[in-house]
A = this chain, B = another copy of it.
């Protein structure tokens, strides 16, 4: 049985533990121009990298069209892959996008992204999860603060902190449309959460998170150590963040929807075990148990070829 370095969903008092894993798992020379020494130091200390306008507008356009196709596809809307807003019934997320979309499958293997991620995680990576987040305008609900790793560890059996989340903005992330907020440096601490995981928790937690969230005192402590930062930028910007970074977002009453393509890269040496604090495993589209190392490809070139072909 794998040792549990990060116990959570505990009865009684919840502590803040020190991180027990490195932040950057790769060593040696960096074969990727984005990862300057300064960028690497930033990622190590603050737990995220914001790459403004990483994708060009023609690339973003291809992603946006694919998003529109998926959100309108009745087969997707009716499937278990789609999560809807509690009140309005609008599509809020689509999971396992790499299984229903050639565009997002190719994007998840983009050599420019994989070069960065493979260095940060030290070798081969696979997709733990992929999804599209569509934060609708007018009535977009908040996502309360959480560490992704806490959920993946307790509910999916991810043993160590050796994964990276990647959020690609498909619409402009503005200060007022419920952008992601992060607490730099929080990835170095693990907030134990209280309360046993309810059975089939994921069916509720994807709509509104009640378990697996920090206490007010823990959150206040993390912010007191650091600050809150809101990475903003035009569509095509990329936020790479360490799997244990505390993040969340406020609601969005503005007419500007906020959509992101989201990929979770996990090291092939960090594959899932039995969940550490849950009876049942979550479904395949939330937690991939068939790791297949991602082979890099030329996303930009492929897209250009596709567009040229269909023109």
Closest to A248 in B: B253
Among residues 247 to 264 in chain A, which have CB atoms less than 8 Å away from a CB atom of chain B? 248-256
Closest to A255 in B: B220
B138 and A176 within 8 A (CB): no
A142 and B251 within 8 A (CB): yes
CA A66 to CA B254, docked complex, whole Å: 34
Contacts of A220 in B (CB 8 A): 255
A contact patch SS: loop
Among residues 57 to 116 in chain A, which have CB atoms less than 8 Å away from a CB atom of chain B? none
A216 and B255 within 8 A (CB): yes
B255 and A138 within 8 A (CB): no
A176 and B230 within 8 A (CB): yes
Contacts of A178 in B (CB 8 A): 250
B253 and A142 within 8 A (CB): yes
Each complex incorporates copies of this chain amounting to 2
**Considering only CB atoms and an 8 Å cut-off, how many residues of chain A contact the other chain?**
24
Q: 13 other contacts beyond A220-B255, A228-B254, A250-B252, with CB at 8 A cut-off?
A: A138-B216, A142-B253, A144-B253, A175-B175, A175-B230, A176-B230, A176-B250, A178-B250, A181-B253, A216-B255, A223-B254, A249-B253, A250-B253
* A binding-site residues for B, Cβ under 8 Å: 137-138, 142, 144-145, 175-176, 178, 181, 216, 219-220, 223, 228, 230, 248-256
CA A204 to CA B252, docked complex, whole Å: 22
Max chain B Cβ within 10 angstroms of own Cβ: one of A145, A175, A181: A175
7 smallest CB-CB distances across A and B, nearest first, come from A251-B251, A250-B250, A175-B175, A250-B251, A220-B255, A142-B251, A223-B255
CA A181 to CA B137, docked complex, whole Å: 14
CA A311 to CA B254, docked complex, whole Å: 48
Closest to A251 in B: B251
